[in-house]
Homo-oligomer: A and B are copies of this chain.
Amino acid sequence: MPLERFEEVRALPLFSEISEASFSALMRGAYVQNFPPHTELVTEGDPADFLHVVASGWVELFSSWSDRETCMTLLRPYGTFILAATIKDRPYLLSARTLTKSRIIMIPSEDIRDVFDGDSVFAKSIVRELAISYRESIRHTKNIKLRTSVERLANYVVKHHAHAGGGGSFTLDVEKKKLASFLGMTPENLSRAFAALKNHGVEVSGSTILLSDPADLEAFARPYFLIDD
């Protein structure tokens, strides 16, 4: 497969600094594929044959146990999954499915491990990526264990409002059902949590969120950089 097709991959933090030889070795067995929405890409417990990179679209990492399911991560370009399993050559701990039409880059795990062994620059990038994901996971756990559902929602709103420019309104980029699962609650409870935030100036209309008093909301949410940033 010609390397030109991987220009966008080359630009990713994980690959931008490695040698041309290493990059070629990685891309030789790689391929890019388009998936429709709601397609299960990997299933937890499966062997980690490929490192996946989201090139476009939205991907959900989720997990199931005993008829229950929970959303663990929502991935946009250019997030990777599931690096730790690839490196350790162990089964995936999470399943992945597309939420929207998505383009996914898949690199054979064996190639990742081979290049990792020979290229310390790549090894460094891998570690950086791993460390980021690890810290993200810890933040997620802290959020779940230390906050009530309304507090989690309030902080989610504050964060995404700021990320959208802080203009007093923004649009939810995933469906509420998914957001609820990510925040560790039911869809019904998310509705009620939004209702509870009316007292702090949060108006909901479909997927549009309006903040009439961002300062008040933030005072309630008490965002904390060791959880939310």
Contacts and interface: CB of A to CB of B under 8 A. Distances in A.
Interface residues of A, number: 50
B135 A226 contact: no
A66 B148 CA distance: 11
How many identical subunits does the complex contain? 2
Nearest to A64: B146
A142 B70 contact: yes
A126 interface: yes
A146 to B, nearest CB: 4
A139 B93 contact: yes
Contacts of A131: 83-84, 87-88, 130
Interface in A128-160: 128, 130-135, 137-142, 144-147
Interface stretch (A2-10, A115-123, A171-179, A193-201): A115-123
User: Which 7 residue pairs are nearest across A and B when measured between Cβ atoms?
Assistant: A134-B134, A84-B131, A65-B146, A123-B123, A70-B145, A137-B137, A120-B120
